[in-house]
A and B are shown apart, each in its own frame.
Chain A
Amino acid sequence: MRGYIADRLVDTVLTCVAISFVVFAFLHLAGDPAMVLLPPEASKEAVAGLRRSLGLDDPFLVQYARFLGHAARGDFGDSFIIRDKALGILLERAPATLELAVAGLLLGVLIAVPLGILAAFRPRTWLDHVASIASIVGQAVPTFWLGIMLILVFAVSLRLVPVSGRDGWRSLILPAVCLGVYLAPIMMRLVRSGMLEVLGQDYIRTARAKGIAERVILWKHAFKNVGIPLVTMIGLQFGRLLAGTVVIEVVFAWPGIGWLTVKAVRTLDYPVVQASVVVLGAGIALVNLATDLLIGYLDPRIRYR
């Protein structure tokens, strides 16, 4: 197990460095922040001066080495636009995104697992059909549109929850539902097909023959075996989930990392974009690491290769 953990850790660190290089390289192709930062009538000397003071005149690799050295110490520099520590700006907003992500993921699992199991337990019945139609609709509906519809029905007409903003648990409900609906369909189909496969196997038939209660067979014997692909899927979904939060944060004016990053990209605010992509990338890498470790724990065969 120790060798397995060490391998995964090295992978994770290498992934993070690779991410940082790609982000750095792409941003430098994107354009010149000095042009965006200064007012339109700025003189050529002003542009040159700003480029110098931002360190944009140095060779690419020198800039990257400097960036990597600072980043290792958690220093991504000051935001060009907000003129405050890029990492600080980001971490200030991280709780909002994390809260949304966890709530949305939980809701997604709560929707997907029971539906998937029910559908697999009664295949090709009306229940199965309803579940698969729901999953297709859930996947087809754009998150953006769903968000606005939820707002119009539950916040504007029924006045049950606030329209937007982050102000107490009630304001979390709609964005979390939106994210849950976005994530649930794939997980549900995974659970359904996994369960169908397992339920057809001999040991389940044996268990039924022994007269074990259906509920116990379903949860203890069958679902446990669907756990591994499900955990993998949730780990992989984490990246999709962050992409989903960007849209949801904009629709619900949720003050998270997503829209901060989008705005930073638009204004070529290098430090914030770099900090956020590296932090998010590291987050995804860590979740994948946790997933690997969890699977290694769940299935002993995986850790001995």
Chain B
Amino acid sequence: MTRLIAALFAFTLAAGPIALAGSAHAAPRGQLVAALDSDRESLDPHQATGTIDYMVLMHVFDHLIARNPESMKLTPGLAESWKFVDDNTWDFRIRKGVKFHNGEPLTAETVKFSIERVLDPAQKSYLRDRFKGITQVQVTDEFGIRLKTEKPNPVLLERLTNLAIVPPKYVKEKGDAHIAKNPVGSGPYRFVEWARGQRLVVEAHPGYWGPEPAVKTLVFRPILDVGTAIAEMLAGGVDFIRLVPPDQIPVIEASGKGYITSAPIIRVIYLNFDVVGSAGTGPVQNIKVRQAISHAIDVDGIIQHVLGGRGLRLGTIVNPMKFGYDASIKPVPYDPSRAKQLLTEAGYAGGMKLDFTTYAGSIIASRQVGDALAGYLGKVGIQTNRQHIEDIGLFSNLEKTGKLKDIYLGSWGSWSVFDADMILYPRFHSSEAFAYVRDPKLDQWLDVGRNTVDPKRRMEAYAQVQRFLAENSLVFPMYAQTSVMAVSNRISYKAASDETIALWRATWKN
């Protein structure tokens, strides 16, 4: 205890003068350590496939379009402004005077190089599929660029928030393998060191074109076990934890070392029905059974008791923050007696047994949520043959090949694209691998939504899709997830709804 008091005393002495200096002006200072739940893969922003890689690399690289952390609206990034020339043509004005961390200037040619690098099949970039609607990248003048698309592409701007701009000269001279370990971007932080499996260090870049960050050095450490990450925070070794399970929130709050910040995110959690029988015939191909299941589950109860109140009840699978959300669709009310009645009407008065799959990862407290669902279903006479898959890769394989029978607990994160297309199309268009529902009407509306520019017509199409899904109980939307981050008391940081971490927005408390 004396040691602790002595340490605190020493800290107060040391922190005093700095606090005064800090309030006067904000030159970047100090070091912040962030714990991440996985190791980095590649530091080439066009190659790394993990969501967390993207989040980390956002500190080093800029994108044409950025997003306001409060409103989630698109804002200028490296593109100062953009204009819609005709249905298939976009013009962008590139910010002048921007330089990469190695001094290389950033111009329209740079942007062209970056887009074409992603589109180049030889690069095998995971981003290629999202941008291959672009047929032509034209440099109009030193800071002007024009993109032509095959069909009208209303989601293009949203997607450009994912395309990092890289320095052409550096990439060509050093090669792809080099940039994967020594990234050079134009973002708020420049790369310093990467010891795989141990730490990634970046430092505030003095010549950054945007606002200067408050924290000078950021250290990203992979700590796979959240218990260890929390112990680190209690010992003062970590300032930031990205995902905190609900049962650990009180530990952080009681520790006096950190606090919780949370925000609703666009990831939605739902119960999926094998409507077309991809994995074999079963009772859920009967609409009454699907309706019964939707009435049998108390989603509000799950949010309250399993998630500690952190979650937003949904009536449609489109997140309210997205373009295309139809607010007129209300959640199916919890009504177990109605559920039983529907089951009787469907000829299952004596009960039934369903295969029910859940998986670990992405869904907070997925096992407990799955237990609760099985419990509610049991109450109305639906027995579940439960399978919990620990491995997200295996789950995803089974999901994509249509092998998940009857019902499963699914989630969709949308890759931070705030548009209904990014969930409705891949899940309900018959050409897609994920489709457990197939209907020509859905295909038609989804194609209109994807390839029309007029927002009113798109909105109408998506409203039709959502109504159709609700009327036929083709999926049971449950809730939108809330991200829960832990932040040490040394810094101020607020979680954002796009599920990213943006530590250039973190500030020192003293």
Contact = CB atoms under 8 A, between A and B. Distances in A.
Interface of A: 30-32, 35-44, 46, 49-50, 53, 81-84, 89, 92-93, 96, 148, 151-152, 155-156, 159, 162-166, 250-253, 255-256, 259-260, 263, 265-268
Contacts of B41: 81-83
B394 A41 contact: no
Contact of A250 (B47, B129, B225, B397): B225
B228 A253 contact: yes
A41 B39 contact: no
Contact of B234 (A43, A44, A96, A156): A156
A50 B124 contact: yes
Contacts of A252: 228
Nearest to B44: A83
Contact of A49 (B39, B121, B225): B121
B377 interface: no
B415 interface: yes
Interface string B297-331: 00000000000000000000000000000000000
Contacts of B422: 41
The 9 closest A-B pairs by CB, nearest first: A255-B197, A253-B223, A31-B397, A41-B426, A36-B393, A163-B232, A255-B198, A156-B235, A151-B231
A165 to B, nearest CB: 7
Contacts of A251: 225, 227-228
A83 B129 CA distance: 19
B46 to A, nearest CB: 11
14 contacts: A35-B396, A37-B126, A41-B426, A41-B432, A156-B234, A163-B228, A164-B231, A165-B199, A165-B221, A250-B228, A252-B228, A253-B224, A256-B197, A259-B197
Interface string B402-445: 00000000000001000000100110000011100000000000
Given A83-B42, A163-B237, A266 B391 contact: yes
Contact of A148 (B127, B228, B237): B228
A81 B49 contact: yes
B12 interface: no
Contacts of B81: none
A30 B389 CA distance: 14
A46 B131 CA distance: 13
Contacts of A162: 235, 237
Contacts, number: 123
Contacts of A39: 49, 126-127, 129-130, 415
A53 B125 CA distance: 13
Contact of B227 (A42, A148, A165): A148
A250 B224 contact: yes
Count chain A CB atoms within 10 A of each CB in B38, B49, B221 and give the residue with the most: B49
A259 B224 CA distance: 9
Contact of A159 (B121, B235, B400, B425): B235
B196 interface: yes
Given A93-B197, A266-B392, A40 B426 contact: yes
Contacts of B237: 162-164
Contacts of B277: none
Given A39-B129, A92-B196, A148 B231 contact: yes
Nearest to A255: B197
A31 B400 contact: no
B39 A263 contact: yes
Contacts of B15: none
B276 interface: no
Contacts of A152: 231
B166 to A, nearest CB: 15
B228 A151 contact: yes
Given A43-B129, A155-B235, A164-B232, A32 B397 contact: yes
A152 B235 CA distance: 9
Nearest to A39: B126
Count chain B CB atoms within 10 A of each CB in A39, A89, A159 and give the residue with the most: A39
A252 B221 CA distance: 12
Given A39-B415, A83-B47, A253 B227 contact: no
B287 interface: no
A253 B222 contact: yes
B341 to A, nearest CB: 37
A38 B231 contact: no
B338 interface: no
Interface string B204-245: 000000000000000001111101100110110100000000
Given A39-B130, A40-B434, A46-B129, A268 B225 contact: no
B224 A165 contact: no
Contacts of B393: 31, 36, 266-268
B415 A164 contact: no
B395 to A, nearest CB: 10
B60 to A, nearest CB: 18
Interface in B178-207: 180-181, 195-199
